[in-house]
Structure 1
Amino acid sequence: MEGTMSLQRCQAEWEEIEQEYQQLQETHKVYRHKLDELTNLQTICSNSISKLRKRLRELEENLYLCTKPSNQNEAEDIKSIWKKIKDKQHIFFDMEAYLPKKNGLYLNLVLGNVNVTLLSNQAKFAYKDEYEKFKLCVTVILLLGAITCKFLLNYRVIDEIFNFLLVWYYCTLTIRESILVTNGSRIKGWWVSHHYVSTFLSGVMLTWPDGLMYHMFRNQFLAFCIYQSFVQFLQYYYQSGCLYRLRALGERNQLDLTVEGFQSWMWRGLTFLLPFLFFGHFWQLYNAVTLFQLAGHRDCKEWQVFMLALMFLVLFLGNFLTTLKVVHHKFQKNKGREAKTE
């Protein structure tokens, strides 16, 4: 009797499972159908954007060919069309952030033709926040690592581990930033190139053989790494606060990142960051000068010395000139506002 009851329960449970399975099949069919619809809509939107972009380029060419406006009204009309074209280009950029697109050359080389577009805001923000936490975590590890190498463990193998960590960190940043740019982040210009140069510099540092030249520069390099990690730690909290306020006001893109430099949106509330940044920039120049002097040393035979000097010089010029440009642009903008109010 008990065996019969158990069999009946099993049969009843199987019937419930079968019903749920049938529901799952129906739901999955609907999902597949919606997925096909979504793919078709993505294709239609991507093609439409490409077509409209082409027409906008043609319109721009026609505007260039236009003769000089004969009166003020024509000049205002041309200016209005130019503004509308730029607005449309920004809108297309935002639209494409939610559409699958081909990876750039770098992502193709690293990941292959894998779709890295995150289609929901939740997924984009989660990836961006994870990126910021990753930067903060590794910055703290690099700070502790540089302090350990400089003050506690003066061993070449420990230095190599630290330099390898730098190479891995900057390589990872270049990949993650490329994915974020694909998904609508507006980070661009020098602050993207900066990490590629830093990756190459760290790789050259990793291959520098042990010797007199290496030990003549070692302590200066480690002290620079300690200072750089400290400044990046300050930047993370300062820039995060700026971005939070600007996003709350609706003035910044949700995927804007903290960067290892200075941008115009960081101007608000600026009290102490610029002196730290400029000091770091000139320390890079000091590193370049030191390495150029070492490259001319009679005992210097390593190619890494001259190459590192060039890389530190490139970093100094890129960081210093970009920061200076942003500060100058902001001053000019503020002067323009004051002139208008007067």
Structure 2
Amino acid sequence: MGSDGGLSADAEVISAVDSVLDDVAKLVKECSAFQEAVSSHSSRLQSESDVLSKQAVELVASMKQLQAEVYAASEKKDISHGVAEKLMDELSKVRTMLYDGDVAPLLPAKANGFFLRALLGPANVRAARKDGRYKVKEEYNAYRDNTTIIFLVFPIVLLALKKKLWNECFPALPVQIYQAWLLLFYTSLAMRENILRVNGSDIRPWWVYHHYLAIAMALVSLTWGIQGHPDCSRKQHGVELFLEWAVMQGVAMLLQNRYQRQRLYTRIALGKAGRMDVVWGETSGVKGQLWILYPVLFTLQVFQCYIGGLLLRTAVVEDDCEWQMVVCGLLLIAMAFGNFFNTIATLVAKAKIKAKMKKMKHVAKNTLQEKVQKQKAAST
């Protein structure tokens, strides 16, 4: 009786093991078939993607060729200025469809620049889906909004503590913490902007280069000892001026974030800007806003150049000249001049657009008057 029970139990165990083996074999077979189906699907998608990518490249080439032909015809007076402007507007819509829609991932990706290759290697940072690209842009905007507050408040706190707590002399550690934060801030901005450019954003190259210079300046300033001088306030005068400039820069960044992004959304809705475009520097704005923004920007640039010149002058006059003074002074002057020329270029571009819009309105008004006169003549 006991022997029969043992045999029955063994048979049940063997049956259970066989069932598990069968289930595992069945699952392996199903996964193998599914893998083959997915591979076939991926190959078919890749083949279709290659065909569409080739067509997308051909469409971009055709668009650029037509833009060149319209421009040449307009220069030779073969077509009127109004017709040329209308054709260029239509081609701009084509460009938006190609570079800002579902077609964009089919176009050849921009190669990672030196900065991204140095930090990330050859990693592919291009988002395959447009919602992924827009998420990258929104994350960049959120980062700028959050760090702008820190950029403004941090130097205000340092300046206030210098007067109230530190007896008009900065301790080295708080200033170095701020400089380390600036290094992180500008490195993060440069990385995000390079990723945005790879994903189709039309960021001006200067602003990326500007952040490279700012990274270098933050790195150099970390090695600069600001203590150990008999006259602490004299040695730290450049640091105090730089912090005051940072406060002004923070105010300008708040103005840009507040006013210009609204204008960018309007330009995107009108098809005059891409969904991946971002606001930085002085890329957009309306007349009332520019009366506030541009004086602030020019004042910042002059003050930045003044601080750089002051550091260079101190390096020449002082007996204990430090190489950090020279490097930081040159970098500040280079950034100030670069910002100034880019601001002027933006103003010139805006003036051309304004003149173009005024001319188009004048042409439209003359055309309307001619139609009215023809209708009156026909009726008489």
| Equivalent residue for 1:208, pick from 224, 235, 252 | 224
Fraction of identical pairs, as percent: 25
Aligned length: 333
Worse-superposed segment, 200-209 or 157-166: 200-209
2:131 paired with 1:117: no
Q: Distance in 2 between matches of 1:146 and 1:129?
A: 27
The aligned residue for residue 42 of structure 2 is: 35
Q: Are the structure 2 counterparts of residues 133 and 219 from structure 1 closer, same or farther at C-alpha, using a change threshold of 3 Å?
A: same
Give the TM-score, by structure 2 length.
0.70
| Deviations 1:124-173 (CA, angstroms, capped at 9, x unpaired) | 11111011111111221232221222222632111111101101111111
| Equivalent residue for 2:244, pick from 200, 223, 230 | 223
Worse-superposed segment, 90-99 or 195-204: 90-99
Q: Are the structure 2 counterparts of residues 100 and 39 from structure 1 closer, same or farther at C-alpha, using a change threshold of 3 Å?
A: farther
Worse-superposed segment, 149-158 or 181-190: 149-158
Q: Are the structure 2 counterparts of residues 37 and 147 from structure 1 closer, same or farther at C-alpha, using a change threshold of 3 Å?
A: farther
Q: Distance in 2 between matches of 1:341 and 1:58?
A: 28
The aligned residue for residue 253 of structure 1 is: 274
Larger Rg: 2
- Which one-letter code corresponds to 2:331 in the other structure? M
Secondary structure at 1:270's aligned position in 2?
helix
TM-fit CA distance, 1:255: 0.9
Q: Distance in 2 between matches of 1:51 and 1:35?
A: 24
| Deviations 1:288-328 (CA, angstroms, capped at 9, x unpaired) | 22112212123242111111111111111111111112112
- Which one-letter code corresponds to 2:135 in the other structure? A
The aligned residue for residue 281 of structure 1 is: 301
Any residues of structure 2 matched to 1:1-342 within 5 Å, and which?
Answer: 30-45=37-52, 72=78, 95-99=103-107, 101=109, 102-152=111-161, 154-211=170-227, 212=229, 214-259=235-280, 261-264=281-284, 266-267=285-286, 270-271=289-290, 272-342=292-362
User: Alpha carbon RMSD of aligned pairs, Å?
Assistant: 4.2
Structure 1: gaps of 5 or more residues = 1-14, 63-67
Secondary structure at 2:225's aligned position in 1?
coil
TM-fit CA distance, 1:267: 3.5
Q: Are the structure 2 counterparts of residues 49 and 106 from structure 1 closer, same or farther at C-alpha, using a change threshold of 3 Å?
A: farther
Q: Distance in 1 between matches of 2:253 and 2:147?
A: 11
- Which one-letter code corresponds to 1:220 in the other structure? L
- Which one-letter code corresponds to 2:130 in the other structure? N
TM-fit CA distance, 1:188: 2.1
Secondary structure at 2:317's aligned position in 1?
coil
Q: Distance in 2 between matches of 1:219 and 1:138?
A: 21
Q: Is the 8 A contact 1:98 1:118 kept in 2?
A: no
